[in-house]
Amino acid sequence: PFHHNVTIEDNTFFTIGVPVVYAFSTEGLTVRKNRLFRCLGYGGEPKPPFILSHCCQVKIGENVFAGPLEYSC
């Protein structure tokens, strides 16, 4: 792995259906206690919120998913 011990915690994300985390070649990634809101008005199929490639020792939990929001972000 190229990246080590990355933590994404206690954030608020407003997304139009694109991933909020894209990780590549990361060991020890933690994504927790975040709030993710999907906004309307941009069309298209929403993508997964997390895309991981060649990662190990990943912990994802305690995230809150909400939406869709009735207004554009």
How high is the pLDDT of residue 9? 98
Strands 59-61 and 21-24: unpaired
How high is the pLDDT of residue 7? 98
Residues of the chain with pLDDT under 50: none
Stated pTM of the model: 0.85
Contact present, 30 and 8 (Cβ < 8 Å): yes
CA–CA separation, 11 vs 9, rounded Å? 6
Contact present, 49 and 35 (Cβ < 8 Å): no
